[in-house]
Amino acid sequence: MDSLTQIVLGAATGELVLGRKLGNRAMIWGGIAGTIPDLDVIVSAFVSPTTNLHVHRGLSHSIFFLFALSFLMAWLTTKMYPEGKSLRDTTWYKWIAIAFRIVFTLLLTSFLSFMLYYFIDESWIKWSLISTIVALTLMYITKMYQNYSKEFYSFEHVSYKEWVVFFLFTLITHPLLDCFTVYGTQIFSPFSNMRVSWDNISVADPMYTVALGLPIWLASFYLRKSRTRNNLLIIGVVLSSAYMMTTIVNKSRVNKILATSIEKQGIKAEMSMTNPTIFNSILWSGTVKTQDSLYSGVYSLLDRNKVFELEGFPINEYLLADTPADDYTVETIKWFSKGYYVVSKSNPDTLKMSDLRYGSFGNRSKEKPNEFIFNFNLYKDKENNWQIDRKSQRGPSENPRDIFVTLFRRMLGK
């Protein structure tokens, strides 16, 4: 999922494991561990787009790699918090706490700004909400500075074994959460490149993030052994877990509707799948593969007609007839898309392979049949091998705001 959600999950997991001993340090270290696997995006600048498809959510998300990393991180933190270290030796924790409050506020306001841009027309509402959050944070930071409390910043010694357990949970929950999304995760790398994906939650879902993040954020204002802090943690975990279970139930319901739609429309399906569209778990995308075509459509849980209106697209496998069977780029895209791809050709020197699992931008129509979210534009290099154009993943031709407004309306069954 998105980095903010992974930070929140890591913070919540850290609080669960060592919150009563470390206080907000558990949230901070949990949040750091929760985002470490996604640092594989740094590699993307140094490898080809094709290789990057293997790298992202690859080894850095492997349960074996993260298991080993937990021992290293435990050793480092043990050195930072040696036995016998007291708070009077570490008064600079106050400044670390203030710095993290500022960073978190920046992340939160950026997230809100992004979401409100697409769904709220009146800019004054957006800026009022953001200003309120910033003002409250500044007030709290001022209070922290003026009323420095040793009790609030106190902590207990944590053994090496406890740190190992802490990082095992905070690191491994990251790839496990990613497995719930359609993008998938190579959790068994390097022994297997299988992408595990359960396709029941969007790669960015504000409902899950808020359900977990808001209670955790509020809990951070209380003493580490406070009952209120513990209750807020429980509320966040219960709400977010309940929402995740709801997406699983929704997927089961949607799968049945897709199966019925396939039967009614007389489609001879070889395989099919469903996954929620971006930012919600109400509007679902359905993809069906036959021998020579792919069918794609959407269904909202608020639709009156319980049916997917599936539109067919020819796979055009013949366009790959002259491509060697071991072509690295083409085979990578086939692997990445799990077979849900179509091929098109605009001129003799280029190809386009589109992954239909993610659906399309806005209102796809006959005039714009290829406005798919995941397109790979291919060109031939000097060795006559196909390569992915780095500019493939460009945004839609429409105004992004209009697209999300359309998505929201369709989600409501309109």
Q: Tell me, yes or no, whether 227 and 281 share the same domain.
A: no
Do 243 and 269 lie in a common domain?
no
Answer yes or no: do 232 and 284 share one domain.
no
Q: What mean pLDDT is predicted for residues 4-13? A: 95
Do 243 and 363 fall within a single domain?
A: no
Per-residue pLDDT at 409 exceeds 60: yes
- Could you report the per-residue pLDDT of 360-393, keeping only the tens digit for each? 765 544 455 557 888 999 999 988 899 999 888 7
Stretch among 21-35, 115-129, 161-175, 336-350 having the lowest mean pLDDT? 115-129
Tell whether 184 and 42 lie within a shared domain. Answer: yes
Range from 108-117, 260-269, 290-299, 316-325 carrying the lowest mean pLDDT: 108-117
CB atoms within 10 A of CB 384: 7
Q: Is 393 or 197 the better-scoring residue by pLDDT?
A: 197
For residues 173 and 279, membership in a common domain is answered with: no
pLDDT at 172 over 60: yes
Looking at per-residue confidence, does 105 or 68 come out higher?
A: 68
Q: Mean of the pLDDT values across residues 202-221?
A: 92
> What contacts 348, CB < 8 A, 6 or more positions away?
none
Distance CA 90, CA 87 (A): 5
Number of domains forming the structure of the chain: 2
* 86 pLDDT higher than 60: no
Q: What confidence score (pLDDT) does residue 365 get?
A: 45
Average pLDDT for 383-405:
77
Task: Name the band, by pLDDT with cuts 50, 70 and 90, for residue 85.
Answer: low
C-alpha 200/C-alpha 65 separation (Å) is 25
Q: Around 173, how many Cα atoms within 13 Å sit in the side-chain half-sphere?
A: 25
Mark whether 218 and 272 lie in a shared domain: no
Q: Decide if 311 is inside a domain.
A: yes
Question: What local confidence, expressed as pLDDT, does residue 335 receive?
Answer: 97
| pLDDT, tens only, 300-327 | 999 999 999 899 999 999 999 989 989 9
* Higher pLDDT among residues 105 and 398, named by residue: 105
Angle between helices 227-264 and 3-22 (to 10 degrees): 150
- In this structure, of 63-67, 139-143, 231-235, 402-406, the range with the lowest mean pLDDT score is 139-143
- Give the residue from 247, 273, 301 where a domain finishes: 247
Tell how strand 350-360 and strand 341-344 pair up: antiparallel
* 185 and 77 housed in the same domain: yes
66 — phi, psi (to 5°)?
Answer: -70, -30
Residues 124-147, mean pLDDT to the nearest whole number: 71
- Top pLDDT among 178 and 400 is at 178
Confidence of residue 72 (pLDDT cuts 50, 70, 90): very high
Say how far apart CA 318 and CA 9 lie, in whole Å: 45
Q: Which domain holds residue 302?
A: 265-411
401 shares a domain with 299: yes
For residue 363, CA distances in Å to 229, 289, 322, 401 come to 45, 21, 34, 13
Co-location of 70 and 181 in the same domain: yes
Return the H-helix or E-strand segment holding 273. strand 271-276
Per DSSP, the chain holds a count of helices (H) and strands (E) of 12, 8
Residue 242 has pLDDT above 90, yes or no: yes
Q: Is residue 79 part of a domain?
A: yes
Question: Order of strands across the sheet with 311-314?
Answer: 271-276, 283-289, 293-300, 311-314
Report if residue 105 sits inside a domain: no
Q: Among residues 198, 220, 247, which one ends one of the domains?
A: 247
Average pLDDT on 189-212 reads 95
Residue 97 lies in a domain: no
**pLDDT value of residue 362:** 54
In a domain, 276, yes or no: yes
The share of the chain scoring above pLDDT 70, in percent, equals 87
- Identify whether 103 is part of a domain: no
- Specify the pLDDT at position 138: 74
- Residue 205 pLDDT: 94
The better pLDDT of the pair 96, 36 is held by 36
In a domain, 53, yes or no: yes
Does 138 fall in a domain?
no
Same domain, 187 and 157: yes
Q: What is the pTM of this model?
A: 0.89
Task: Give residue 106's pLDDT.
Answer: 74
User: Which pair of tokens denotes residue 231?
Assistant: 């209750």
Check whether 18 has a pLDDT greater than 60: yes
pLDDT at 336 over 90: yes
On the 0-12 / 13-18 / 19+ scale of CB atoms within 10 A, 294 is: buried
90-130: pLDDT as tens digits:
556 667 777 777 777 777 777 777 666 666 666 677 677 77
Can you give the pLDDT at residue 218?
87
Where a domain ends, among 181, 213, 247?
247
- Looking at the structure, do residues 32 and 156 belong to the same domain, yes or no? yes
